[in-house]
Amino acid sequence: MEEGVKRKKYKPIVWAAGIVLLFMLVAALYAYRIIFAPFSPAETAYIYIDEERNYEEVILQLKEKAGLPSERIFRFLAERMNYPGSVKSGRYAICEGMTMPDVIRMLRSGNQAPLNITFNNIRTPEDLAGRLAGQLMIDSLTLLETLRDHAVAEKLGFNNETILAMFIPNTYEVYWDMNAEELMQRMKKEYERFWNDNRRKKAEERGLTPVEIAILASIVEEEATYADEYPIVAGLYLNRLKKGMRLEADPTVKFAVGDFSLRRILYKHLEVESPYNTYKREGLPPGPIRIPSIAAIDATLSPQQHNYLFMCAKDDLSGRHNFAVTHAEHMRNAARYQRALNQRGIY
């Protein structure tokens, strides 16, 4: 009798405990499913954390770009995984299937995703700083100041006029938050890798250093619109250098004047006093007038063998050139070109 009473007395407690336990199991299962709910962006999402390392901005980007499963649970987990005080700058990839713990561990450890940077068709330090700043965390003004810093250039084996020769246009895998000094060091390593024994030997055969090859290649590329003319133009300028003739390259005059848009070089332009004006100064200018492409550098290292000493744009204004061995032949070519400009009203 007493046993029956006891059973009846504890039965509600057992039921209550069972319900509580079931509730806890359901809640735990729900929490587990939320905690380990996978991110499911349509494609890999990238979040960028700058030097301010703003935790709230990180959460905002996760919500907007990666479809954060639960902001409340993320904050709860992040606090317990000591992430809010350990935010690291960088570019991070959020891939389909990653969970919130996965993402927090990645962000906390600074395990960022590299990116590919590229630059080409660069004429000035301002152009370069702007192009790279658009791809990296670096501020363009900071990078420009670094490019113009004499001490930085000297440490790398260059000077303010030749520093652009260190940059070889290509695609490079880097980290988004690299600073200016790290970038310069990386470009110096790539420069040394590019100027291998084979290329250095070819430069030596031309009687030029790698930097001088880059300077000449920059003129070749500015002069020739079409890459198939690079070896011809390079051979022509090397012929002039061997004979002790001034290069008399129009692109150097445009650089000296500071106007690359000039379509017609006038006598007043030729009189500009500048170490870059190769109509007035002998030899190569003190630095490249642009960052030459690999194609232009290699063409300058392997020029076409010929006897040309003069060149002039064709009168069809196609961007191609007539080449000449004698000055008289060159003057005939130049006269035709000048007439074409006059006929089209180009002054």
Instruction: Give the pLDDT score at 25.
Output: 44
Cα→Cα distances 71→34, 35, 75, 94, 112, Å: 10, 11, 6, 15, 22
Report the range of poorest mean pLDDT among 214-218, 283-287, 335-339.
335-339
List the one residue out of 159, 162, 192, 144 whose CA is nearest residue 291: 162
Q: Could you report the per-residue pLDDT of 119-167, keeping only the tens digit for each?
A: 999 999 999 999 999 999 999 999 999 999 999 999 999 999 999 999 9
Banded pLDDT at 41 (limits 50, 70, 90): confident
Instruction: Give the pLDDT score at 236.
Output: 98
Instruction: Give the pLDDT score at 263.
Output: 83
Banded pLDDT at 13 (limits 50, 70, 90): low
Average pLDDT over residues 179-203: 97
Instruction: Give the pLDDT score at 266.
Output: 87
List the one residue out of 37, 58, 40 whose CA is nearest residue 48: 58
Residue 322: beta bridge partners?
Answer: 312
β pairing state of 115-118 and 171-174: antiparallel
Higher-pLDDT residue of 100, 3: 100
Q: 214 and 290 in contact (C-beta within 8 Å)?
A: no
For residue 8, is pLDDT > 60? Answer: no
Q: 304 and 222 in contact (C-beta within 8 Å)?
A: no
Cα→Cα distances 330→126, 221, 310, 312, 333, Å: 36, 21, 6, 7, 5
Spatial neighbors of 120 by CB under 8 A, at least 6 apart, are 169, 291, 293
Q: In the chain, which residue ranges form alpha helices assigned H by DSSP?
A: 2-35, 55-66, 71-80, 100-109, 125-133, 140-147, 150-155, 180-194, 197-205, 210-223, 230-242, 250-257, 267-270, 294-301, 327-343
Classify the C-alpha dihedral 20-24-25-29 as positive or negative: positive
β pairing state of 45-49 and 90-94: antiparallel
For residue 27, give the 3-state DSSP assignment.
helix
Residues 34, 28: Cα–Cα separation, whole Å? 10
Spatial neighbors of 21 by CB under 8 A, at least 6 apart, are none
Q: Could you report the per-residue pLDDT of 217-263, keeping only the tens digit for each?
A: 999 999 999 999 999 999 999 999 999 999 999 999 999 999 988 88
For residue 347, is pLDDT > 80? Answer: no
Average pLDDT over residues 19-33: 47
For residue 29, give the 3-state DSSP assignment.
helix
Report the range of poorest mean pLDDT among 33-37, 97-101, 133-137, 209-213.
33-37
For residue 6, is pLDDT > 60? Answer: no
Q: Specify the amino acid at residue 189.
A: K
How close are the terminal C-alpha atoms of the chain, in Å?
120
For residue 77, is pLDDT > 80? Answer: yes
Banded pLDDT at 1 (limits 50, 70, 90): low
**Average pLDDT score over the chain:** 91
List the one residue out of 44, 45, 58, 38 whose CA is nearest residue 98: 38
Average pLDDT over residues 16-33: 48
Q: From the CB of residue 126, how many other CB atoms can be counted at a distance below 10 Å?
A: 13
CA trace torsion 209, 213, 216, 220 (10° rounding):
170
Residues 332, 50: Cα–Cα separation, whole Å? 60
Banded pLDDT at 11 (limits 50, 70, 90): low
Task: Give the angle subtended at the CA of 158 by the CAs of 157 and 162, to the nearest 5°.
Answer: 155
Banded pLDDT at 346 (limits 50, 70, 90): confident
For residue 34, is pLDDT > 90? Answer: no
Q: Could you report the per-residue pLDDT of 79-128, keeping only the tens digit for each?
A: 999 999 999 999 999 999 899 999 999 999 999 999 999 999 999 999 99
